[in-house]
Structures are given as C-alpha cells and as structure tokens.
Amino acid sequence: MEELRVLELYSGIGGMHYAIKDSGIPFQVVAAIDINTIANQIYQHNFPDTPLWNKTIEGITLDDFNKLSFDMILMSPPCQPFTRLGHQGDIADPRTKSFLYILDILPRLCKRPRLILLENVKGFESSSARERLVKTLKECGYTYQEIMISPPSVGIPNSRLRYYLIAKISTETFSAETRSKILEAFPHAAETDSPVFPYPTETIPPEQHAVSSLSTPDTCQPEEDMQGGHFLYKLETMIEVQRKMNQNNDLSVRQIRDFLEPQTEDKVEKFLLPPKTLLRYAQILDIVQPTCRRSVCFTKGYGRYVEGTGSVLQSCMETEMASIFRGLDQCSEDEKLQQLFKLKLRYFTPREVANLMGFPQSFSFPEQISTKQQYRVLGNSLNVVVVARLLQLMIS
C-alpha cells in the first residue's frame, strides 16, 4: 500500500498519530495542528520530526491546506460544546468555530482527502454540528459510518464511550460486509451496554444510542443518582454492585494489574489520597482493585477533583473493603481515617492512565510537564487502541 499523507487536526498529545502508527498503515503526518501549548510540547517531545503548527485552524488559508495535499484527515474537535453536563452550546459555542471552518474548507479543496476519521464525546451524535458534518460529507461525495465504542470492546478495562465517524470518498463505499467487520472487531461492544452502532448514511436511532447512565457510566461525566434498590455500604445500590460484578466477570477484558507500573513505597505515598479527600469523598469513590476488569473514565480534573473524574486504586489487598466501610458513619474523624488508611487508596499515576488509554511505552512526558498538566492532557485525549482498530477497518 502506498504511503498516506495524513493531516492531524486538534493533534493534542498525539493520540491519533500513535493510533495510525499502531494500525500498521504506511503514513506520513504532513502537519499536526493545535493551539494548546502544553499539548504541543508533549507532541513535539514524542514526534520531533513531525511538522507541528501552533496556530488556530481558522487562521490557515485554503491555499495552505491545498499545498499539504493530504489523503486523510484525523481529528478530534473540542468536545465541551456537546458534553451532557456542559452548556451544550453546540454550534453557537465559539469552540466549534474551527470545526465549522473545516466543513467550509472541505468542498473547496483542490484535492479532497480520500479518508476522514473523527472522534468526539457521546452527545455529538445528536448535535447540529454532526448534522452539518454529514450534510457536507454527502455533498462532497463521501460515504460514512457512525459508531459508538468504549475501550472494553478491545479488552481494555476502562470506560470511555465515544462517538466515531469514518468516511471514504464514494469511489470506495461502505458495504454490509464492512459493517459486519466492525461488529466482529468490537464484539464486546456489540454484546454489552456499550454497543456499536454502524449506520452508513443514517442518524443513529435515538432509542438505540441513548445509553443509560445506570448501566453504562462511560461518558466521562459523574454518574446519575441511582433510582431503585436499597443502599449498601459505600452508598452503592444493589444495581450498581451487580453491574460492577458483571464487568469484573467479563474475561474478554484484561485485568487492571496488566496496566499498572511497578510501585515503590515512595511512589505509592506520592499518589495516596490525602486525609481531607478521604473524609469528604470516601463513600462515593469508585474504588477498583488490581484484579478488576473495569474502571471509570478519567477526565482532565483527575487528581484535583474526585467526583466523576476517574477510579482510584486499592493498593493494600490484605484488608477487605466491605469491612472498612460498614459502620464508618458511626466513627469519629480520626477513627474513619485510621480505617480508610488501611486500604492505601491511591490515584492511578499519569503513566498508568496513559496505559489504560492505549498509549505505547514509547510515549513519555517532557520533564517540565507537571503531574497536574499530565492528567489534564490525558483527560482530553482518546483511546489509541480503539482508533487504531477503526483505521485498520477503514483501509481494509
């Protein structure tokens, strides 16, 4: 196969670049474009030979795009206008300006790219931005598929439900066989509450894409209050406990310990949850163990905020978690802390979060990037393995 010339928009820390590299497709990134200076430092650190443009997309002229002569666009536009807990400003949100500019540029390119892959949050599939996207694709002669996938579909124990669109110029259409291949590539998603939705030219049916937060908290948002069922210890209903047990019993998903770093005592101490956090949030923490096959989506606030930002790890397995939480409400603050300290609850390290998001061991952060900044850029990134599988299916 001839080498594809790839344009990487909203390049971030290089998730798309790693994905196409992992896919085995011959490629050259002709330009990576982003305005986040921290993300750009990390991208340049890992891909020093790739042309990196630190400028706004809408500041790039049609002539500049034409000179790049690219075969593929990879992009993950800003998700804030579409998140469930955001203002959901959609195309009225100024952060969609660059994406709308891309849609304006696409029909006017001298040579339209053969392939396009877009990633965004759940919520994008019902947005006006998505409507404009598919309208533009049809007018430009593309066929496309829309898919909702979470990483357990590829055996990774981390929830991160995302909308994906893959498009081809209409000389190569998506067939029923292609859709079948997608379902085969993501079997876990097809069988569980994190489904795959392959529809070539239709909107995803609302009754199918409305994934219940009760069964699939994959959307990188705090879970809704659970309705029904009595509360057990740790403020969890029987429904929640059963859901977590089902996830942990799914042998198609790897265990969390496969993604952990070797830990020294000093390193464990550095990432332990502070006493103030334990006292305030202990009963709503999503606690996982190394043998678990699930974890909650990591967001950019991980390490600073607790509620809805990601799971924490129980480092000490000699103590049963249930025995610690039962009767905790009747304890004094000092007694509570003494009990909770026994679990050695810690944050996942940035390297471990990167592992769960599919980044290879070759990925690293420059020394000057703080832990807080590392969590922030990872929370804005994508799952490399999922995108790599989709790229393989696009090409095949």
Q: Which phi and psi (to 5°) does residue 85 adopt?
A: -95, 0
Report the distance separating Cα 391 and Cα 386, nearest Å. Answer: 9
274-300 exposure pattern, b = at least 16 Cβ within 10 A, e = fewer: eeebbeeebeebbbbeeebbbbbbbbb
Report the distance separating Cα 38 and Cα 9, nearest Å. Answer: 16
Report the distance separating Cα 123 and Cα 189, nearest Å. Answer: 18
User: How is 231-298 classified by DSSP, letter by letter?
Assistant: B-GGG-BHHHHHHHHHHHT-TTS--GGGGPPP--HHHHHHHBPPHHHHHHHGGG--EE-TT-S--PPP
Report the distance separating Cα 245 and Cα 247, nearest Å. Answer: 5
Q: Which phi and psi (to 5°) does residue 101 adopt?
A: -65, -40
Provide the phi-psi class of 189: left if phi over 0, else alpha when psi is between -120 and 50, else beta: alpha
Cβ-based neighbours of 143, under 8 Å, separated by 6 or more: 167, 168, 170, 172, 173, 174, 200, 201
Report the distance separating Cα 220 and Cα 381, nearest Å. Answer: 12
Q: Quick check: is 79 catalytic?
A: yes
SS3 129: helix
Contact at 8 Å (CB) between 8 and 74? yes
Catalytic site residue from 79, 140, 220, 297? 79
- The candidate with the shortest Cα–Cα distance to 327, out of 319, 335, 318, is 335
SS3 159: coil
Report the distance separating Cα 33 and Cα 217, nearest Å. Answer: 31
Strand pairing partners for 31? 7
The residues annotated with a catalytic role in the active site are: 79
